[in-house]
Structure 1
Amino acid sequence: MEVACFPISIKTTKHVWNYDVSIELVVGEKKVVLNKDRSDPQDKNYCRQLLRLAFNKSNNFGGDDKLKYVYDGLSCLYASAQFEDQDVTVDKESYTEQLKKAFRRDVVVRVTRTASNHELFIHTSPDKMPLDQFNEFKRFLSLAVCQYALDCERYSVLDHGHLFSTDNQNVVQLNGGTEVRLGMSKGIRLVDNGKNVQAAFEVDCNPYERILSSCYSCGCFKWFPKY
């Protein structure tokens, strides 16, 4: 087992804005929340597609063309600029073919500012952040580094700490329906570079060279735009 650590430098004074996401399927008088806490990788993929459709329909959530976001497929979204709360109905006619097979009704996407830590000062030295801000900071970086890997659908995620390859050719099937896939454990930690304390992206996998070379060859690890 090998560990690779990549220090992250934040070269901006801009802030990041934290939002809650709820994606709801309305069936009669019932409301089914699709992005529940224990969603599987396929559910998260659906939610990312639905959020993208809502983003486009609402003209970038009412922001300008430069607004960017990262989203975990559940309830957590970070944006590069602040915008008003959104309540967007995604019509089934606009679904992708994959979504049409999964859902037969319209979906409501709600994006609301968080009650706490709505504004993240990511340029603050991480060792000087309050604990709650530091936890949000770590989650933001973990998403920002790996968002493209998920969007290009070469990797999927079960939680914030693990990425798995979607390549079905190398899947090993075990008894009981268990699958073994190429993947990696990942996380954000603090490192001392001799001058100051900074965040670093840490990958713990075997063999990590194979996975990282695959990711970088398709540009899967990209920084949050302008950060």
Structure 2
Amino acid sequence: MRAFNLAEARIVERNYCQTHINRRLRIVALMVVLAVSICGASYTCKAMFAGEVQESKSKLAEAQGRCTDARKEMEVLNTHVVERKWQAQLAAESGRWLDVLDSIVSRVPGDVWLDSIKNMPAESRLTISGRAATFDAIVKFISSLRCGKEFGEVRLESAKMAGNEAVNCVDFALGVALKDGAEPAAGASATPPSASAAAPEQPTESAPVREQPEPTRGGVPNVPGATR
């Protein structure tokens, strides 16, 4: 009959349990290490992505700032360009207006005196008012204006005798139509849209005044430059 050792069986059972426990502990430890590694990697990736996102936001803000500065510079340049174009246009229109005035003044006879020259842009016409020694002087002035290339129709608007017993003159008003290309622009004195300073106004009325005839004996006006 074989003897059965209970102590040996308990030792074997205890060793078996200890082996299984150690194996499970190693598995748990490995899983813990793996979880910690995954968490560390996730945190590192998150920090890296957060840094890249912040850097991208900074670059985007810097690019937007540069775009804003460039837009402001473009607006300033556009303003300068508009101002220069407006100044060139104003200079051209002013020169055209002065040419018209010079042409009118150069055609005034010696016995005609101008009081005013008014511009009516809506009708492309000029109104010339003044005083003449005789009706013949007015006719001569009208004929001289009709010879000008800047003027179209020249019409006598009104004429009436003026003066006193010693001096007789004729007050007159002429309507002069301007041809295309000779009309001074109505907006020549307007302020440009983007200009900050006010521009000088375009003259709309000129009044070159000659000396009035002096009374002489016999009631005939003393016309400067006229021969008796």
Q: Which has the higher contact order (CA 8 A, sep 6+)?
A: 1
Instruction: Bin the TM-score by the shorter chain.
Output: under 0.3
With normalisation by structure 1, the TM-score equals: 0.25
